[in-house]
Structure 1
Amino acid sequence: MPRLRLATLILLTAGLSGPALALDGLRLGIGDLQGDGWSLEGVTLDLSLGQRDTLDLQVARFQLPEPLGTVRQVRLQCQGGRLDNLTLDCPRLEVTWQHPALGRGSGTGRMTLRLDGRLDLDLALSLEAWDGVGIRLLLGPGQWQATATLQAMPLQGLPPLLRALTTPAPDSPLRDLLLQGTVSGHLQATGGDEGLAHLVTQLTWRDGAFSAAGGTLAGEELATDLALEARQRAGHWRGRLDLTWSEGGSYLHPVYAESSPQAPAQLGLTFTGSPQRGTLQVDQMALTWGEALRVAGTLAVDTRQTPPLREADLHLDQGHLPTLYDTFLRPFLHGTVLEDLDILGDLSAQLQVREGRPSQATLTLADVHLDDRRGRLGLYDLEGRLQWNGAHTPPASHLGFAGGHVYRIPLGDSRLSLQLERDGLHLLAPTQIPILDGALAVETLQVGGLASDDPVLAFDGRITPIAMELLAAALDRPLFTGTLAGVIPQVRYEGGELSVGGRLLIHAFDGLIMVRNLRLQDPFGVAPVLSGDMDISHLDLAAITGTFAFGKIEGRLQGHVHDMVLVNWQPVRFDAALYTPLEGRFRRRISQRAVDNLVSLGGGVGGALGTGFLRVFESFAYHQLGLSCSLRGDVCQMSGVAPAPSGGYFILQGSGVPRIQVVGFTRQVAWRDLVQRLAAAVQSGEHNTGDTD
């Protein structure tokens, strides 16, 4: 057999040292040898015979199985040995070699080699490039043991070694991985003729740091402890792993997490697996992170299939939302209304995976309080239980909150009964969400496509009467009088856009406001875009103007705002006209203050049968009044209810005696100037002519 050739050649020289022939030394040019998985090239043997026998074996090239590869310049020296017809005994053995990745190495120990190929070896090894690493190799009949002891071993050279011993994929982090820190502990591997059978590892990593090109992986000031024991039988491994991360911060895009001795991250699991088959079965797993997270369960992985996770039963028994949100959830919520929350409360969850797909899930919320720091959304004392099943109809879910707000509009105690579906949910029964002294009555609610990047929401509802005074106060707006009510039909959210399919009817100021073609793109984003058309019918002007210091106007108001576009709630385009209709039987009176402010808004002048004496009248009759604005960008094209003979436009046409009229001459006004004029008129009622173009 090839593996006996070297031993046979060595032992045959024993006959040359007998009395029949006396020699001082012998050199043999053995050449090349090979066996299962290995080969020797350029083998020479020097044997010095005398009072102290010395055996010097040199190998130019020693080819080992991957990943070890080729070892060069191997030299084995046996001094003071004893050589007889059956055994070579080396009580003092010295070994040196050169490896392209490991560098120069050396070792000392003892060796006994018998003619039948039996080898007993006890060798202590060291590597010049790896200070603090000690290796001991024991070989005996049918068994071997390798032990490595690490004393504050620097890790800087490990990535180049890993890259030399392996062939990382082009996108693998190993290609550009950098490591720092020191490792201490020991590794012990035991095996026999069938290979590795038992592995025990205890390691500590201190002052650790790592990074990869591209910035997707990084860590600093790390302290971790690893304990691993595993046994192999018939190609299957069974063992236990315990990992503790007690200091430092780690970044795995886009998640950054920190650990501390007071709140360490700990993972413990027992497992069975087959590296040859690419399978791993975790029979028992426990993951904790301080008081913020506690997960237990089992799972099965098969790397030959996609996705690799084939089976799982995971239980999140404890989840502290402030920590979980800041660390694991917030990085994935960028650009949504949930990206910047103050949050309190706890959650628990269960997840079951079968044949590579989620099959059941349950999420329970308790005492959750969340508030958007930008004031867009808030929910208080949120609680609920959501149950999902991928194959069957699960039990009903529920969700409720004691209060909250949407854009500062307060919400009251609400309860929703929901049925979760395979890819969505629907409302089981109509519900009401209190808003001030009214409510949003949700008749139907359907959500689909939750597993996709483009979920779809649809609902129908109505607004029961809400006092305008309360709504205006909540929004920090002037205190309108009257009520707000209406029908909200065919509301749909899809592709980042909220739309109303039918006509939104709002009853306010004893009139009707009808909104059509309503669209809201990116409603909770940085710059939401609102578009639509609005028609106004029969609003009570006294109820509207009586709210402000603008001045009292009695009558009815018609009008429209068409082709309206608001970006981040600021208008950039619309065609608007507000006026009193000529038809209809209603009182038409306007106060002196209102006249002055109409002059200010229109940038025009007022005139009548006289001038100064009109100041003695508190109000005047009018025939018609109105103003229109066509906004494009930051400029408003102004007009009134009719052309004026002087070349301007009538904002107010008087009636009776004394007859008063207001004529506007400004055709183009900067939108910000018009808003400032209106604000000044509303706040003080003082006359301000403004600039004319």
Structure 2
Amino acid sequence: MLTRFLFSFSILLFLTVANASGNIKLSIGQWSFEDIQAQNLQFDIKLTAKGLALTAKADSLILAKPIGQVTHFSLQCDELILLAETFSCGQGTVSFRQADLGQQKLSFKVKGEPEKSKYRIKLAGLTLASASFSATLYLDKKYWRLVTQTPKLQITEFIKVASPYLQEQQREALESWQVEGNINLSADIAGRNNEISTLMVDMATTSLNVTDSESRYVTENVILGLDFSAKNNKQNWQWQTELTVDRGQAYGEPIFVDFDVTPVSLFAKGLWQQTKGDLEISTAKFHQKGVVQVFADFKGSFEKVEQLNVQIEKSNIARLYENWLQPFVLGTAVDSLNLAGSAALNYHQSADNYHVSLDLQNVFIKDELNRFSVDEVNGSVGWTNYDHQMNSSLGWEKAIMYAVQIGQSQFQAQTVSSSLTLTQPWDIPVFDGKLKINKLNLHRPGEQGAEWFFDGRLTPISMEQVSEALGWPLLHGKLSGVIPKVSYSDKHIKVDGALTVKLFEGTTVITDLKLAQPFGSLPQLYANVDLKNMNLSTLSETFDFGDISGRLEGKIRDLRLANWRPVQFDAHFATPKNDKSRHRISQKAINNLSKVGGGVGAALQRSFLRFFEDFSYKRLGLSCKLHNEVCEMSGVGEAENGYYIVKGGGLPPRINVVGYTRQVDWSELIDRLKAVSNSSEPIVIE
């Protein structure tokens, strides 16, 4: 437009100059040409050996938006050549002031063929955001092309210049960010009329520093390179981009990346249908050196997914966890793991349906807090919400869970419609026995409303191994039982019905069993326990307590464990009232019971009792009501200044054991039990 204006006016001047010599000066108070308006326009024209020398000035020019009004306009061309079909300016300068661009002084070259509407304009020296731009504009009737470049564009200054041309919402978004750094930018844009047909942009940053108002996203001294190209065919954009970042650090809550150590690159290409708003990413490749390589493709829009495929190639699971997984699980039971081995993942989504498979190879997992570990995990796990089957097969060589030894195991399962079900019973070796899971169903894990349940049984486990592993007093005998339906819902584990355990030739029945926050930092367990028909001979042997014959029953009400430590219960253990078995107790057992209850073994005839190894009793028992880490103690009956732990009866010799300590710190009581269990001193009753 401006070029056509200059050319038209130059023709008029040329006709005048052709019939004159020397200088011509022309002043026009007001001038308008299409969308251009000029105030106090002045021309000074000289005829030289090289052609025309033109100087034009104006107090103001009003041009089309976004430029608008410019003032102090001055244009000079020392080599203006006008021919029949072309004109050119081999060397020219133009200066002006504009509200956003400030004072500008540019050099330019122009060549035009007005009859063909073809022009070429070269500009240099345009100052924008403290950067100097050069540009070449090609015009050919309806077609145009702009090539521009700047070696050092200050981002902060550029945002200031661009802000007036942005929408209010865009300006407010930019104001919440602090951005510092420089960009080396080049662009090649071509189009037809008001439409862009091709676009190529190359840019590189130096020391890019970005921070949002809440410091959730931060970069420091980032050096990146970006190449982007796009081709428009009837509002269908074929595009391609490549990004490399190899210097600096970045944090995007909760991920931190040190690009000096693990540089990243991204390549992607696809199609954007501008009219429909549809987006296709036909190929995408993300690579982080030494950590992960991801391939992906996508179809859909910015609002919905029609199809998505993601493939994470075989990667070092330790590096993957450290860089991409651990930040998301802080505060959970898996936020501090030592890992080894490799993992790969495939994900496919079609609309709202998806399936994912995870492959693990030679994976070792160890919790830094020594709560659990798993060795040599191999296999694959599949999950889908499709109505078709995905199979899973996963195994390990050995594992430890809170000191519980778990042997080699393999499970087979299938997933359909967000539910996983065992395809065959799953045997998990535990110490020298097995946990046999007959049924297991897992529904919607990781989602609100996640649920699972299983049932099975426990084959006999040596209590010696259990007590040694858990740091308990040495126990003897076997542990076994039937596990009814155990379910998880709303972050709680509960047992439907009664959990039955065979122990010490008797039966232990656990009811109302619940486990809250089982994978949190403070798991809570609740239960009621009933013990029936326990053989005291086996029990006393287990604890090396001294020989006791007879039977024992008991109950534990309102049991609560916090982080697997007792904090509350009401426990009562005693001889059954109708027990017909033989009741005998050794001197060692009497002495140990006295130590536990804080009492004294009282003999009717002390000098005579020392010659007996054991005594008869009518009933024995001990109770503890734990609250605020203090045990309220009692026995099978009240005695003078105390309570009976052992009540004598039957044929002589008989003996009573009386406890005098009513309140005992829980930690002290545990120490007493350990001392009794570990004691090997001879017992003497005077």
Once the two structures are TM-superposed, the CA of residue 268 in structure 1 deviates from its matched residue by 1.8
**In 1, Cα distance between the equivalents of 2:637 and 2:32?**
111
Tell me the SS of whatever aligns to 1:596. helix
Aligned equivalent of 1:345? 341
Tell me the SS of whatever aligns to 2:626. strand
Once the two structures are TM-superposed, the CA of residue 564 in structure 1 deviates from its matched residue by 1.0
Change beyond 3 A, Cα 1:370–1:280? same
Once the two structures are TM-superposed, the CA of residue 378 in structure 1 deviates from its matched residue by 2.4
Deviations 1:163-205 (A, max 9, x none): 5543474898643223344433533333443543333333333
Tell me the SS of whatever aligns to 1:546. helix
Aligned equivalent of 1:691? none
Deviations 1:22-50 (A, max 9, x none): 98533323367765xxxx56654221245
Tell me the SS of whatever aligns to 2:589. helix
**In 2, Cα distance between the equivalents of 1:202 and 1:348?**
34
Change beyond 3 A, Cα 1:435–1:32? farther
Given that residues 129 and 158 in structure 2 are in contact (C-alpha distance below 8 angstroms), is that contact kept between their aligned partners in structure 1? no
Change beyond 3 A, Cα 1:139–1:547? same
Aligned equivalent of 2:50? none
Deviations 1:99-128 (A, max 9, x none): 665554431112356776764422113316
**In 1, Cα distance between the equivalents of 2:31 and 2:610?**
125
**In 2, Cα distance between the equivalents of 1:345 and 1:172?**
47
Change beyond 3 A, Cα 1:70–1:517? farther
Are 2:632 and 1:634 equivalent residues in the alignment?
Answer: no
Change beyond 3 A, Cα 1:596–1:387? closer
TM-score by length of 2: 0.88
**In 2, Cα distance between the equivalents of 1:171 and 1:551?**
84
Counterpart residue identity of residue 197, structure 1: S
**In 2, Cα distance between the equivalents of 1:350 and 1:254?**
23
TM-score by length of 1: 0.87
**In 2, Cα distance between the equivalents of 1:291 and 1:648?**
71
**In 2, Cα distance between the equivalents of 1:42 and 1:610?**
131
Which stretch of structure 1 is more off in the superposition, 172-181 or 397-406? 172-181
Tell me the SS of whatever aligns to 1:211. strand
Change beyond 3 A, Cα 1:251–1:171? farther
Once the two structures are TM-superposed, the CA of residue 322 in structure 1 deviates from its matched residue by 1.2
Are 2:24 and 1:30 equivalent residues in the alignment?
Answer: no
Deviations 1:256-289 (A, max 9, x none): 233347x532222232224454333222222222
Are 2:659 and 1:664 equivalent residues in the alignment?
Answer: yes
Once the two structures are TM-superposed, the CA of residue 455 in structure 1 deviates from its matched residue by 1.0
Deviations 1:378-419 (A, max 9, x none): 222222233445444124322222221222212222222211
Deviations 1:314-369 (A, max 9, x none): 33332321111122222222343322222222222322232x33444333222222
**In 2, Cα distance between the equivalents of 1:54 and 1:443?**
97
Deviations 1:79-108 (A, max 9, x none): 436487988754443234556655544311
Tell me the SS of whatever aligns to 1:330. helix
Are 2:428 and 1:433 equivalent residues in the alignment?
Answer: yes
Are 2:307 and 1:311 equivalent residues in the alignment?
Answer: yes
Given that residues 22 and 46 in structure 2 are in contact (C-alpha distance below 8 angstroms), is that contact kept between their aligned partners in structure 1? no
Tell me the SS of whatever aligns to 2:203. strand
Once the two structures are TM-superposed, the CA of residue 56 in structure 1 deviates from its matched residue by 1.9
Given that residues 384 and 390 in structure 2 are in contact (C-alpha distance below 8 angstroms), is that contact kept between their aligned partners in structure 1? no
Change beyond 3 A, Cα 1:477–1:101? farther
Given that residues 60 and 73 in structure 2 are in contact (C-alpha distance below 8 angstroms), is that contact kept between their aligned partners in structure 1? yes
Given that residues 155 and 182 in structure 1 are in contact (C-alpha distance below 8 angstroms), is that contact kept between their aligned partners in structure 2? yes
User: Structure 1: which 5+ runs fail to align?
Assistant: 689-693
**In 1, Cα distance between the equivalents of 2:633 and 2:411?**
49
User: Structure 2: which 5+ runs fail to align?
Assistant: 48-52
Aligned equivalent of 1:220? 220
Counterpart residue identity of residue 439, structure 2: T
Aligned equivalent of 1:75? 73
Are 2:50 and 1:54 equivalent residues in the alignment?
Answer: no
Are 2:295 and 1:300 equivalent residues in the alignment?
Answer: no
**In 1, Cα distance between the equivalents of 2:97 and 2:539?**
94
Which stretch of structure 1 is more off in the superposition, 16-25 or 317-326? 16-25
Change beyond 3 A, Cα 1:75–1:592? farther
Are 2:189 and 1:189 equivalent residues in the alignment?
Answer: yes
Q: How many residues align structurally?
A: 674
Are 2:505 and 1:510 equivalent residues in the alignment?
Answer: yes
**In 2, Cα distance between the equivalents of 1:686 and 1:44?**
120
Change beyond 3 A, Cα 1:99–1:587? farther
Are 2:146 and 1:146 equivalent residues in the alignment?
Answer: yes
Are 2:119 and 1:123 equivalent residues in the alignment?
Answer: no
Which stretch of structure 1 is more off in the superposition, 477-486 or 527-536? 477-486
Tell me the SS of whatever aligns to 1:157. helix
**In 2, Cα distance between the equivalents of 1:163 and 1:439?**
70
Change beyond 3 A, Cα 1:171–1:190? closer
Aligned equivalent of 1:648? 642
**In 1, Cα distance between the equivalents of 2:171 and 2:526?**
45
Once the two structures are TM-superposed, the CA of residue 557 in structure 1 deviates from its matched residue by 1.7
Aligned equivalent of 1:230? 230
Aligned equivalent of 2:398? 403
Once the two structures are TM-superposed, the CA of residue 556 in structure 1 deviates from its matched residue by 1.9
* Percent identical residues: 27
Which stretch of structure 1 is more off in the superposition, 228-237 or 341-350? 228-237
Q: What does residue range 8-27 of structure 1 map to in structure 2 within 5 Å? A: 8=8, 11-12=11-12, 19=19, 24-27=24-27
Match of 1:466 among 444, 461, 469: 461
Which stretch of structure 1 is more off in the superposition, 534-543 or 610-619? 610-619
Once the two structures are TM-superposed, the CA of residue 567 in structure 1 deviates from its matched residue by 1.3
**In 2, Cα distance between the equivalents of 1:336 and 1:347?**
21
Counterpart residue identity of residue 122, structure 1: K
